Amino acid sequence: MNTIISFLKVSPKLVYLFCALALFLQIPERYVPAAERESGEVAARRIMIERDLRGRGIKDERVLAAMEAVPRHLFVPDRLRDSAYADRPLPIGAGQTISQPYIVALMSELLALKATDTVLEIGTGSGYQTAVLARLAATVSSIEIVPSLGDRAKKLLDELGYKNIELKIGDGFFGWEERGPFDAILLTAAAPKIPEPLWRQLREGGRLVMPLGEEGKSQRLIRAKKSAGQPVIEDFTAVLFVPLRGAVEEPSR
Ligand code: SAH
């Protein structure tokens, strides 16, 4: 070492200082043990539950417990992992987003799920909302129109061990006839009206929750309950969702 230092004709102190600085800069990125990182994420999740969910009026204890259990950081791209528990939507690729935690909680609460319910979700995206629903209901069938997103969600949900989720790539506008009728249906993309095939696949007494409205215009989060075959609609809050794609865009629909 000393010969190298004298060869370079620099002060040894300067070399040691440089080495120490290099090591210091590497440590936070590379050497934080996985367990410690994990506990940071558990803590971030608790803060999210208390401040952004309970603090903003989410009351359903089953929903809060489900969201405390699902590791949201695994559903966002690696480079955004540090923002996973912030109360905002994040990009997940293919121009789509994972919904913000508060909206995921609100929609889950509005579905009023029982442990025996069957659920249909349109717009799997990252699979995060799917995982939350799977902890609240008996089965979740979820449809995604973008194959790369659906495939990624399937791999992750399998790795996490969810056994009551079934995923399909396709246009959710048409629902999933063979799996229906459903006790609850959730759309995580906005449409100007309730897609007719989905309404047909909702059981009597069932709940359908969706962002109602057109792209770029104001959207409302609504719940439609099926009562004697007719929708009883409740309007909750303004939301901003990506639009439902596919058949819904055809003028005749
Ligand atoms: N619940 C998701 C949010 C995804 S954003 C999450 O938590 O990550 C809405 C998703 O709906 C996008 O992935 C988009 O590709 C999908 N989508 C849009 N139109 C669709 C359609 N007709 N059928 C199924 N999925 C659709």
Each residue's pLDDT tens digit, 43-54:
999 999 999 999
More reliable by pLDDT, 74 or 250: 74
For 138-181, the pLDDT digits (tens) are 999 999 999 999 999 999 999 999 999 999 999 999 999 999 99
Q: Is residue 34 scored above 90 in pLDDT?
A: no
Choose one of 126, 188, 193 to mutate for the ligand 1 pocket test, by most ligand atoms within 8 angstroms of C-beta. 188
Quickly state the pLDDT bin for 251 (edges 50, 70, 90): confident
Please identify which of the residues 99, 108, 126, 141 carries the catalytic annotation. 99
- C-alpha of residue 156 to centroid of ligand 1, in Å: 16
Of 88-97, 109-118, 243-252, the poorest mean pLDDT is in 243-252
Q: How far is CA 165 from the centre of its chain?
A: 15
Residue nearest to atom 11 of ligand 1 (CA): 123
Q: Does residue 142 carry a catalytic annotation?
A: no
Look at residue 253 in the predicted model and tell me its pLDDT: 73
What is the overall mean pLDDT for the chain?
91
Residue nearest to atom 17 of ligand 1 (CA): 123
Look at residue 50 in the predicted model and tell me its pLDDT: 97
Q: Is residue 30 scored above 60 in pLDDT?
A: no
- C-alpha of residue 122 to centroid of ligand 1, in Å: 6
- C-alpha of residue 47 to centroid of ligand 1, in Å: 27
Look at residue 13 in the predicted model and tell me its pLDDT: 76
Choose one of 70, 99, 124 to mutate for the ligand 1 pocket test, by most ligand atoms within 8 angstroms of C-beta. 124
Look at residue 18 in the predicted model and tell me its pLDDT: 63
3-class SS letters over the chain:
CHHHHHHHCCCHHHHHHHHHHHHHHHHHHHCCCHHHHHHHHHHHHHHHHHHHHHHHCCCCHHHHHHHHHCCHHHHCCHHHHHHCCCCCCEEEECCEEECCHHHHHHHHHHCCCCCCCEEEEECCCCCHHHHHHHCCCCEEEEEECCHHHHHHHHHHHHHCCCCCEEEEECCHHHCCHHHCCEEEEEECCEECCCCHHHHHCEEEEEEEEEEECCCCCCEEEEEEEEECCEEEEEEEEEECCCECCHHHHCCCC
- C-alpha of residue 9 to centroid of ligand 1, in Å: 62
